[in-house]
Amino acid sequence: MKVLVIGGGGREHALCRKLKQSSKVSKLFAAPGNDGIAQIAQCAPDIKATDIDKLVNFARDNGIDLTVVGPDDPLALGIVDHFRKKKLRVYGPTGSAARLESSKGFAKDVMRRHAIPTAGHKIYDKPGPASEYLKNCDYPVVIKADGLAAGKGVTICHDVDEGEAAVKEMMIVKRFGEAGRRVLIEDFLQGEEISVHAITDGRTILSLCLAQDHKRALDGDKGENTGGMGTYSPLPQVSEEVQDQIQDEIMVRTVHAMNRDETPFSGTLFVGVMLTKLGPKVIEYNARFGDPETQTIMARMQGDLFDVLWAATEGNLDSVDVEWDPRAAVTVVLASGGYPREFEKGYKIHGLENDFGPDVTIYHAGTKRVGGEWFTNGGRVLNVTALGTDLVDARKKAYAAIEKIRFDKMFYRKDIGWRALK
Ligand code: AMP
Ligand code: GLY
């Protein structure tokens, strides 16, 4: 089978590597991919993940049997609907179903009507009423742009001044463009946040192993929010009971809700869940695999990813199963100075030629290869994923591998997994 993966980051590198291991995959393509992915797949670097027409043509011209969508933007643009219209098989939710991620207002409405636990909130489409609310509410509050803002449209505000500034940035300065036309003001939830992934065909839910991301740029969860600086799995601090509660009250209810609303969801449902004193609550929905959660999850997944994704598109996910490696996995993101804001590109990367051993995989998130040498080409540059007998061992192996890699302005968090190890 010929498989096309859409996207070009570390997540897509991990999906490609896992798909490549399947005996059913005869040829692997990626669009745009990246120079790291190009070592294992044929890339189409000139086709952006949002060039829907070009992607449709590419899939048709190359006889692609299955397309797997990595990032959120093409899903929000309805790439799945476009592919299906042309009778091309594609893994991911339709544009309507992807609104769970692309519109926070839509997601809140689904959760309210179907009693899915989440933070209380108000929605505003004008700055005046939002400011009025901010004068008398309890702090902290969380202010969010309604639409997609690359993980940056969320501000935690501790007083009315911070609140006003956030509303101004979104609704008047329009830092996030259309995405900030509507804002949500949400109650602040206290607790530990985890990443819950499931693959679903709209009927059956195949739970993937739990992971935890570290979203802040600096050690000790300090600094700005990023797309994610590192992940680990399993999460020994989450009891079976809480896991069951997440399944019953969040995952099952969400898939049922989408069916009842006649926008069935098939694809990857990735829920950011806050473990509060009052039980698990939804922080946000994503309609795709997490990055860098996927790197860690794929390290532990045993079984054929192609079979699973194919079954999800067939609607017979109940026919497949996966096992989980009992070992622990840790992924550390190597980023370029300045990320998540301005950063420079083009620094030479040293050390990738090292032998990192069988338990370590280096994924390329933002690199470029010029004449056999590697250079940085993004904010998140490389992801180092290690398997170990337990978290301590996996972490030791990941950081030992990082010792062998260097580039100017390289930075990374040194405390990935700290909540499980404290
Ligand atoms: P989001 O993009 O919605 O995942 O938000 C980014 C980050 O802001 C999350 O990972 C949380 O750490 C934090 N956050 C979002 N919503 C809330 C909330 N209601 N209470 C506390 N923290 C939140
Ligand atoms: N790592 C969080 C995300 O992919 O949204």
pLDDT at residue 124, rounded to an integer: 94
**Ligand 2 lined by 213 (C-beta under 6 Å):** yes
Task: Check whether 389 has a pLDDT greater than 70.
Answer: yes
Listed residues 324, 344, 373: the one ending a domain = 324
Whether 210 and 319 share a structural domain: yes
Whether 320 and 334 share a structural domain: no
Ligand nearest to the CA of 149: 1
Which residue range(s) make up the domain with 159? 126-181
Buried b (16+ CB within 10 A) or exposed e, 65-75: bbbbbbbbbbb
Whether 320 and 332 share a structural domain: no
Whether 163 and 248 share a structural domain: no
Listed residues 296, 324, 352: the one ending a domain = 324
Rounded to the nearest whole angstrom, what is the distance from the C-alpha of residue 282 to the centroid of ligand 1? 10
- Structural domain contains residue 108: no
State which ligand 2 atom lies nearest to the alpha carbon of 291.
4
- Structural domain contains residue 384: yes
State which ligand 2 atom lies nearest to the alpha carbon of 286.
5
**Ligand 2 lined by 268 (C-beta under 6 Å):** no
Whether 200 and 162 share a structural domain: no
Q: Is the dihedral of CA 392, 397, 400, 406 positive or negative?
A: negative
Number of domains within the chain: 4
Whether 345 and 260 share a structural domain: no
Rounded to the nearest whole angstrom, what is the distance from the C-alpha of residue 154 to the centroid of ligand 1? 7
- Structural domain contains residue 233: yes
- Mind listing the pLDDT tens digit for each residue in 144-188? 988 888 767 888 999 999 999 999 988 888 888 888 889 999 999
- Mind listing the pLDDT tens digit for each residue in 405-415? 999 999 999 99
Rounded to the nearest whole angstrom, what is the distance from the C-alpha of residue 161 to the centroid of ligand 1? 19
Whether 214 and 316 share a structural domain: yes
Radius of gyration of the chain (CA): 21
- Structural domain contains residue 113: no
Bridge partner list, 350: 406
Q: Kindly report the protein residue whose alpha carbon is nearest to atom 7 of ligand 1.
A: 154
CATH number of the domain enclosing 52: 3.40.50.20
Whether 233 and 319 share a structural domain: yes
Whether 364 and 384 share a structural domain: yes
**Ligand 2 lined by 72 (C-beta under 6 Å):** no
Q: Kindly report the protein residue whose alpha carbon is nearest to atom 4 of ligand 2.
A: 290
Listed residues 56, 72, 95: the one ending a domain = 95
Mean pLDDT confidence for 15-36: 98
Whether 351 and 411 share a structural domain: yes
- Mind listing the pLDDT tens digit for each residue in 310-368? 999 999 999 999 999 999 999 999 999 999 889 999 999 999 999 999 999 999 999 99
Rounded to the nearest whole angstrom, what is the distance from the C-alpha of residue 323 to the centroid of ligand 1? 31
State which ligand 2 atom lies nearest to the alpha carbon of 289.
4
Task: Check whether 297 has a pLDDT greater than 80.
Answer: yes
- 62, 63, 75, 66: which is closest to 7 by C-alpha? 75
**Ligand 2 lined by 228 (C-beta under 6 Å):** yes
Taking a C-beta distance cutoff of 8 angstroms, is the pair 95, 76 a contact?
yes
Ligand nearest to the CA of 72: 2
- 156, 157, 159: which is closest to 135 by C-alpha? 159
Q: Kindly report the protein residue whose alpha carbon is nearest to atom 3 of ligand 2.
A: 290
pLDDT at residue 225, rounded to an integer: 85
Q: Which of 138, 144, 154, 187 to mutate to test the pocket of ligand 1 (most atoms within 8 A of CB)?
A: 154
Mean pLDDT confidence for 87-113: 96
Ligand nearest to the CA of 293: 2
Whether 410 and 300 share a structural domain: no
Ligand nearest to the CA of 284: 1
Strand blocks (E) in 277-372: 279-286, 301-302, 323-324, 328-336, 348-349, 360-364, 367-370
Whether 86 and 139 share a structural domain: no
Q: Which residues line ligand 1 (CB under 6 A)?
A: 119, 142, 151, 154, 186, 188-189, 193, 215, 225, 272, 283-284
Q: Which of 213, 284, 291, 293 to mutate to test the pocket of ligand 1 (most atoms within 8 A of CB)?
A: 284
Task: Check whether 237 has a pLDDT greater than 70.
Answer: yes
Rounded to the nearest whole angstrom, what is the distance from the C-alpha of residue 273 to the centroid of ligand 1? 9
- 188, 192, 189: which is closest to 221 by C-alpha? 192
- Structural domain contains residue 6: yes
Joined together, the tokens standing for residue 268 give 């990857």
CATH number of the domain enclosing 409: 3.90.600.10
CATH number of the domain enclosing 304: 3.30.470.20
pLDDT at residue 150, rounded to an integer: 72
CATH number of the domain enclosing 142: 3.30.1490.20
Mean pLDDT confidence for 270-284: 97
- In the chain, pLDDT over 70 holds for what percent of residues? 100
Contacts of 254 (CB under 8 A, 6+ apart): 100, 110, 114, 116, 265, 269, 271, 285
**pLDDT tier for residue 46 given thresholds of 50, 70 and 90:** very high
Amino acid at 275: L
Task: Check whether 213 has a pLDDT greater than 90.
Answer: yes
Ligand nearest to the CA of 213: 2
- Structural domain contains residue 104: no
Reduced to 3 states (helix: H, G, I; strand: E, B; else coil), residue 411 is strand
CA distance 345 to 343: 7
pLDDT at residue 151, rounded to an integer: 67
pLDDT at residue 277, rounded to an integer: 97
State which ligand 2 atom lies nearest to the alpha carbon of 213.
1
State which ligand 1 atom lies nearest to the alpha carbon of 284.
3
Joined together, the tokens standing for residue 217 give 């740029």
Across all residues in the chain, what is the average pLDDT?
96
Contacts of 403 (CB under 8 A, 6+ apart): none
- Structural domain contains residue 114: no
pLDDT at residue 233, rounded to an integer: 98
- Structural domain contains residue 309: yes
Cβ-in-10-Å burial (0-12, 13-18, 19+) of 221 comes to middle
Joined together, the tokens standing for residue 121 give 């909130």
